[in-house]
């Protein structure tokens, strides 16, 4: 609102006061801080369809909310997540596979992020088929492609698994004549479920650890050329200001370790035993059953 000019002194005082108000608006309200020195609000990026990351993120959401954090899980594909971490649009992601799957993103954005270390060292990209499929190796898939309707079912086009499949697996094993379908992880799992229920052959891109190995009668095809790479570590990566904004949580995540059996137990509780996509009750029940181990993550 425009004010009438009264005196130079009053004008200067009003201007100074308005300057303070505008400065306060520009800076915003300072972020709330917990007693442990961490900022209260936390945005965890979660990759669409990557169940181990969903499980770990839901676990930490429950743990941190119990300690007074305000936690948001933000679902997105890897490319915008890593760019967002480098800009502090996200605070942390718990599902970075290294040294292979997400290497391109770390090469591009790694200088603006912080590697908080691997919490699982047994991650593995796979090509899986129904347990009674007449092939056991990727080396035999091309010549038996017709038994799988000439199809290999993939996941999200922007995923590291898709890149490895296209750039390494398909040329290594001469699978160019197979129709390689990419859509989403839920779509792939739906095809896997339908085919195994019907007793039909199916070939899908998959990874370990994943609850699908408990839910469906499937096996991994051998990879004699090593096109899928060796076992990887699942790392947590913070945004460029993460350690400054979350000094206590940074330490907890650097010490975080979860073996494959424990992870499979949590995934099974969330994705097999629970109904719907509200994982909160299933996670809380699992935490109660594993309370001593959960408490150790923040002790």
Taking the domains of the chain in order of start, what are their residue ranges?
41-122+231-296, 124-220
Specify the CATH class of 124-220 in words. alpha beta
Q: Where are the alpha helices (DSSP H) in 102-221?
A: 103-109, 160-164, 170-172, 185-198, 212-215
Quote the tokens at residue 91: 């605070």
Give, for all 299 residues of the chain, the pLDDT tens digit. Answer: 333 333 323 333 433 343 433 334 444 567 899 999 999 999 999 998 789 999 999 999 999 999 999 999 999 999 999 999 999 999 999 999 999 889 999 999 999 999 999 999 999 999 999 999 999 999 999 999 999 999 999 999 988 899 999 999 999 999 999 999 999 988 999 999 999 999 999 999 999 888 888 889 999 999 999 999 999 999 999 999 999 999 999 999 999 999 988 998 999 899 988 888 899 999 999 999 999 999 999 99
DSSP code for 142: G
Round to whole Å and give the CA distance between 298 and 98.
Answer: 25
CB atoms within 10 A of CB 183: 15
* Cβ atoms of residues 71 and 42 within 8 Å: yes
* Cβ atoms of residues 41 and 32 within 8 Å: yes
Predicted TM-score (pTM) of the model is: 0.75
**Kind plus residue range of the DSSP H or E element containing 72:** strand 70-76
- 41-122+231-296 — its CATH code? 3.40.190.10
Query: Please, which residues have CB within 8 angstroms of residue 98's CB and are 6 or more apart in sequence?
Result: 106, 118, 232, 233, 235
* Cβ atoms of residues 255 and 30 within 8 Å: no
Say yes or no: do domains 41-122+231-296 and 124-220 share a fold: yes
Peptide bond into 99 cis (omega under 30): yes
């Amino acid at each position: 609102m425009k004010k009438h000019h009264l005196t130079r002194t009053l004008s200067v005082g009003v201007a100074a006061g308005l300057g303070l108000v505008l400065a306060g608006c520009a800076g915003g309200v300072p972020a709330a801080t917990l007693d442990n020195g961490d900022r209260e609000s936390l945005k965890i990026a979660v990759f669409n369809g990557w169940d181990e990351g969903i499980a770990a993120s839901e676990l930490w959401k429950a743990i941190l909310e119990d300690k007074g954090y305000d936690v948001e899980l933000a679902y997105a594909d890897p490319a915008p997540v890593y760019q967002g971490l480098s800009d502090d649009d996200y605070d942390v992601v718990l599902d970075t596979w290294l040294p292979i799957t997400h290497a391109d993103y770390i090469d591009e954005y790694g200088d603006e992020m912080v590697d908080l270390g691997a919490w699982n060292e047994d991650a593995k990209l796979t090509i899986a088929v129904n347990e009674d499929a007449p092939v056991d190796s990727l080396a035999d898939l091309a010549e038996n492609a017709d038994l799988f309707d000439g199809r290999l079912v993939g996941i999200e086009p922007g995923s590291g698994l898709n890149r490895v499949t296209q750039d390494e697996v398909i040329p290594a094993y001469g699978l160019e004549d197979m129709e390689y379908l990419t859509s989403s992880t839920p779509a792939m799992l739906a095809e896997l479920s339908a085919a195994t229920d019907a007793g039909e052959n199916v070939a899908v891109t998959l990874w370990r650890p994943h609850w699908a190995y408990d839910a469906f009668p499937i096996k991994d095809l051998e990879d004699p050329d090593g096109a899928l790479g060796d076992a990887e570590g699942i790392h947590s990566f913070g945004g460029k200001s993460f350690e400054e904004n979350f000094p206590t949580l940074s330490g907890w995540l650097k010490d975080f370790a979860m073996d494959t059996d424990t992870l499979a137990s949590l995934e099974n509780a969330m994705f097999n035993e629970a109904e719907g996509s509200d994982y909160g009750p299933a996670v809380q029940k699992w935490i109660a059953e594993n309370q001593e181990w959960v408490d150790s993550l923040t002790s």
